[in-house]
Structure 1
Amino acid sequence: MLYSVDVGIRPKDIVLLIFFGASAFAAQTASLPAVPPPSTAGFYPLDQVHRGLHGVAYTVFEGVNPEPMSVQILGLLHNALGPGQDMILARLEGAKPEYTGVVAGMSGSPVYIDGKLLGAISYRIGAFSKEPIAGITPIGQMLEVAHQSSDLIAANSSSPSFSQTASVKDTPPLPAVNQETVETSAIRPMDMPLVFNGFSQEALDLWKEHSPALGLSAVAGIGGSSSNEKQPEPIVPGSAVSALLMRGDLEIAATCTVTYVDPKQLLACGHPITQFGPVSMPMTKAQVVATLPSPLYAFKIINTTETVGSFTEDRESAIRGAFGQQARMIPVTVNITGEQTPRALHIEVVDQPQITPSAVMVAVFQALMQRNTFTAETSYRVRSTVNVSGYPAVHFGGLAAPSDMAPANLLAALMVGERFSRLYDNAARQTPIRSVDIEVEAIPKHLAAQLESAQSTVPIVHPGETITIEATIRPWRGEVRNVRIPIKLPEVLSEGHVRLLVSDGSTLDRITQTTRFGNQDLDVAATIEQLNSLHENDRLYVTLLEPSPQAVLDGRTLSTVPMSMANVLEPLRQNQKLTLNGESAVPMASVPIDNVLSGQQVLTLRVE
């Protein structure tokens, strides 16, 4: 037998409950201040923070205007971020934060109690939290990052002073969160998406492989750039703000939320972007196109707009931006020819040692990837010029062809990145790099070849005579070709045996550019000399290996050094400024092969 139970709730009662619940929530939201208090309102003392306080936070969910959301303080975690680095634990309340959760890009959202700035929402707790619980960086820790932070505090002297630790005398015991129940590994800075606009997934993978661990979530194409678009709305606490690592035809941007603003500067994020310390990155306004909720990874989709200054500090507790300052950027131009329509890529890259070389490399890779004429068999001839203030121009390049290891566009990008890094990362460089110009010719052929064999036309030679070296070259999927190279031997050769090296350019570079003891860096001038003297990788070289000392000094190779001079140079060797080898490499001749050549062979001839 079936029984029915009358619980006394009619459908119209359910409708009324929903209506009154929605009305109550709307009333709660409407009671929150629509805009954040002015910066002159002061700061909320950390030693007065306790469980049960209620405040309001501001962030942009869509558009450019910050929206308020309720915040309930759960407690204070002493030394949660390090000695003397406290964190306030809070629960975000309201329809939007409860729906989206703690969102990447929300870090820096200011929190106010009684109209005074408490700090910035900046840390997330756990990976799949069922509640929007977040950590707040106290404003006192953030102000340490600002230049003349004592002046900022003095300007708000009417407010109670900061205290990094709660006073036992003045403050009742906190019914605080039991810190033993919170694993420190579960407390981490809110994700900050590093958005690559105009990049393919392959370029993004290359960045992840070669860039330093910045602590940023690199994503491709989730956002846009409108650097020429004016955004009339002023930057206020709660506004979205972006730091650019690259701008122009390609863009790399990291976005967070502004915590504090005064006429000269702002503080944002509540945690570092890179924690490089002093930085110089363009600071732009930003529009939030949408906030994407996800239990795995919720984030804001951002469009960057007009530049308003430069970020100058990137520290543990905040990043600092200065209005009106211009960031140091390196202009990079990539011109691509060999196609029906020549293309040019114009970008500017941030001048930051931990970022710039990888950014240049990834930009070159993307420039070659996005061509309609790109195929798996395309080869690239690269010519690069780097202009350094106070030094002669640096020239390097070569031919890149597909291989079993990687496609040609990747090899071309790696070649540019490696050689640019040798100059950029030089510890002795004190002057800025003014520009980087890269010329690329796309060749719709697989231009790779192997040195198969080499021999002399005569086994016995005499000083001063001309002999012919015959080399067999096997192109990739092509007919074997024989190359004849006439060389004139030196007028003075000792009787006995002499060796000739027949090789590609990279083999010759390894012989003539011996690394210094302990891998110590050359100075800038020597590095430039070394880069400018690199051998082409699409030529075949014949080199005489003489049994006499060879010196490498300041990037220059001195062959057949007399023993008396070698003895004079010995003190430089002891000071690690000189490298001496027992055998000299004397260039004899070279011929173009017009393919990326690999291989080497040593010929031994008898001198009579």
Structure 2
Amino acid sequence: MRTHPFGLPGLTGLALFVGLVAGLGLSLPLARGQARNPTIGVNEIKEGMKGYGLTVFRGTVPERFDVEVVGVLHNFRPSQDLILIKTPHPRLNITRNVKGMSGSPIYLDGGRLAGAYAYSLSNFQAEPVAGVTPIAPMLTEMQRPIPPGFWPSDRRGPLPAAPQPASPRRASLDSNGFEGAPGGYSLLAHAEQMAKRVARDRSGPVPTGTPLLMAGVGDRAAQLARKLFEPLGLEPMAAGGGQSPRADAPQHYVDGGAIGVQLTSGDVSMMGLGTVTHVQGNKLVAFGHPMFNAGDSALPTAIGSVLWIYASEQHSFKVGEAVRPLGALVQDRQSAIVIDEKQSGPTFPVRVEVKGVEVAPRKVWNSDVVEEKFMSPSLMATVFGSVVEATISERRDVTWQLHSKVSIKNHGTIELDDFGVAVGGLPEAGEWAASRAVRAVGDVLNNPWEPARIERVESTLNVQYTRDLWRLRGVELLDDEVDAGQRARITLHLSPFAGPDAVRTIEVTMAPELAGREVELEIVPGYEVTPELSAPENLTQLIANEPRQSVMPKSVVVQYRVPSQGVTYRGHVAARLPDFALDALRPTHASVGPDPFNSYVRTVIPMDRYIDGRDRVKVKVRENLR
């Protein structure tokens, strides 16, 4: 038999009733001989009242600490008060306010639950004083139902149950979704949007903070993680977070126990650490403040173990790791997060195999990443950055290629390539935010048409200890004038890192309609050229576009404008059309029609190395009189 958190078996139904009553702000009359209400309302709390709190200082077992009420701030948040307390305790007198203690239950009046330790008054606190979220609004959130279709039978997680209508020009927006054109995902732009949505007032008491404990994350990757997650109220730090299931770990959550929100697990792990406030049956409330304030959610959770509380003059924090995966965060609200032990948050595996390195800390990296519109691309970028940082820690030049296979449920697998040349050191971590694989996952999960599932990401990192690069030092036009329809010859002067310069002569055919004109030829690396793509109108078209975002990476492209225009429409591209065709396609009774674009003629020339640099030359095109 499971025991009620207050030591009384079989009171789950009573506790649910009490929670509903407290959430409605009502008092519960007690019959003669009936047990006292196990919670205490704000209207009963007086200055000077003493009690205790529960939290984990080390390991998994909660310990008591003394508290004394300072007073109550009324209507601190919309329809939510704040109880101020002192916490005289040998450890807390040193650490003062502690990140990771959020949710620690506070008991007054002989053991009645008052609320959750949740707010600090400022950084650099001189005394151990904290803000307590009252238990009533937290219990109310525990009763909030999950919307129909939110947890489909195939555990798709926080996605609508059916395809949703949306403009083909902009992705539909939810609390964590990307606002932008479908197929135009940018992780850094998404991070800026998220930061604006969750901006918090820092002028008074603020949430104690959730340490995002990282394991297996390199220093540069950690910088990227901080850029992505700090604006959301998380505190990324290399201080644990690794998932190590233990046979002796508790089987269920307990009041005052440590709880982790497991964003990624495995060889690269990241876990938000906090404290359980109150368990009722299979559900519990924790934190006493939101994690992202994202509403209905589906993030994996785990029972946590605390190794130590690091004392800091600025803000102390707990460090620890997960010891048993259990349940999912299902509500992320103003007063609390709600966890259901019977649910599981959707994740997908990310596997990276390393080749070309004789000795490496690890040849195969495996992590499970939470499936969520912002978290998935953010965590993938952190995983990729960490693998590269651990593998390529050299002063030598390095050329790397990351070949990724992204499998999408019911839509097959797409293959994408990322590459780079790190001159005398490591690639910058920020490069991974623009990774093609990261962008593809962001595009798919943020599509406005239908729920999408990422089944897995499998990548191979190929490393060469060389600067596989030519710098374009100049170009030379061999023919100042050419006939229309004939070829212009261009010599490329290429400079390697070491050794003699190289010369390559290439040819490009001049379009007949350019007769009598002077034409500017632009010479650019292939990876910088984005072909014309039709704006996707459904998920299938969006996925088909992903591998077409650039031309051959090891190539040089010669391109020039032509007078005609092209159009994209309903998944199709017509590159060069005469004016009469454009007039015929232009709609007369509707605002939706083909999208015109300026036409370019492009010649792609494969190269042995990546090209860095670009140049321009002009050629005169004669009329061909023959």
Q: Which TM-score bucket, shorter chain as reference?
A: 0.7 to 0.9
How far did residue 463 of structure 1 move?
5.3
- Conserved? CA contact 1:143–1:149, under 8 Å: no
Tell me how far apart the structure 1 counterparts of residues 432 and 328 of structure 2 sit (CA, whole Å): 32
- Conserved? CA contact 1:309–1:327, under 8 Å: yes
- Conserved? CA contact 2:445–2:451, under 8 Å: no
Tell me how far apart the structure 2 counterparts of residues 367 and 593 of structure 1 sit (CA, whole Å): 27
- 1:101 matched to 2:99: no
Higher relative contact order (CA 8 A, sep 6+): 2
Of the candidates 368, 385, 396, which is equivalent to residue 405 of structure 2? 385
Structure 1 counterpart of 2:546: 531
- 1:440 matched to 2:440: no
Of the candidates 555, 558, 562, which is equivalent to residue 546 of structure 1? 562
Structure 1 counterpart of 2:612: 597
Helix, strand or coil: the match of 2:114?
A: strand
Of the candidates 493, 501, 506, which is equivalent to residue 472 of structure 1? 493
How far did residue 262 of structure 1 move?
1.8
Structure 2 counterpart of 1:203: 221
Tell me how far apart the structure 2 counterparts of residues 567 and 556 of structure 1 sit (CA, whole Å): 18
- Conserved? CA contact 2:299–2:345, under 8 Å: yes
- TM-score in terms of structure 1 length: 0.79
What runs of 5+ residues in structure 2 fail to find an aligned partner?
16-36, 147-200
- Conserved? CA contact 1:43–1:139, under 8 Å: yes
- Conserved? CA contact 1:487–1:589, under 8 Å: no
Equivalent runs, 1:285-434 vs 2, <5 Å? 285-340=303-358, 343-371=363-391, 374-402=394-422, 407=427, 411=431, 414-416=434-436, 417-418=438-439, 420-428=441-449, 430-434=451-455
Change (3 A) 1:573 1:142: farther
Helix, strand or coil: the match of 1:571?
A: coil
Tell me how far apart the structure 1 counterparts of residues 380 and 67 of structure 2 sit (CA, whole Å): 43
Structure 2 counterpart of 1:155: none
Q: How many residues align?
A: 533
- 1:79 matched to 2:99: no
How far did residue 108 of structure 1 move?
0.5
CA deviations on 1:445-490 (whole Å, 9 max, x unpaired) are 1233333333454344445555544322223444321123345566
Change (3 A) 1:364 1:84: same
Helix, strand or coil: the match of 2:232?
A: coil
The one-letter amino acid of 2:368's match is: E
Tell me how far apart the structure 2 counterparts of residues 392 and 424 of structure 1 sit (CA, whole Å): 15
Tell me how far apart the structure 1 counterparts of residues 612 and 440 of structure 2 sit (CA, whole Å): 19
Change (3 A) 1:570 1:353: same
How far did residue 124 of structure 1 move?
1.5
CA deviations on 1:484-522 (whole Å, 9 max, x unpaired) are 3345566x546323744432224531x7359x8xxxx87
Tell me how far apart the structure 2 counterparts of residues 569 and 250 of structure 1 sit (CA, whole Å): 52
- 1:53 matched to 2:49: yes
Change (3 A) 1:238 1:587: same
Tell me how far apart the structure 2 counterparts of residues 573 and 549 of structure 1 sit (CA, whole Å): 22
Of the candidates 572, 582, 585, which is equivalent to residue 566 of structure 1? 582
- Conserved? CA contact 2:514–2:621, under 8 Å: no
Tell me how far apart the structure 1 counterparts of residues 346 and 67 of structure 2 sit (CA, whole Å): 39
What runs of 5+ residues in structure 1 fail to find an aligned partner?
1-34, 151-182
- Conserved? CA contact 1:485–1:589, under 8 Å: no
Change (3 A) 1:535 1:284: same
Tell me how far apart the structure 1 counterparts of residues 418 and 90 of structure 2 sit (CA, whole Å): 58
How far did residue 555 of structure 1 move?
6.2
- TM-score in terms of structure 2 length: 0.77
Q: Once the two structures are aligned, what percentage of the paired residues are identical?
A: 23
Change (3 A) 1:68 1:334: same
- Conserved? CA contact 1:241–1:285, under 8 Å: yes
How far did residue 420 of structure 1 move?
4.4
The one-letter amino acid of 2:56's match is: V
Helix, strand or coil: the match of 2:288?
A: coil
The one-letter amino acid of 2:260's match is: S
Tell me how far apart the structure 2 counterparts of residues 386 and 197 of structure 1 sit (CA, whole Å): 24
Change (3 A) 1:466 1:494: closer
Helix, strand or coil: the match of 1:356?
A: helix
Change (3 A) 1:478 1:564: farther
The one-letter amino acid of 2:285's match is: L
- 1:451 matched to 2:466: no
Tell me how far apart the structure 2 counterparts of residues 381 and 473 of structure 1 sit (CA, whole Å): 22
The one-letter amino acid of 1:43's match is: T
Change (3 A) 1:498 1:529: farther
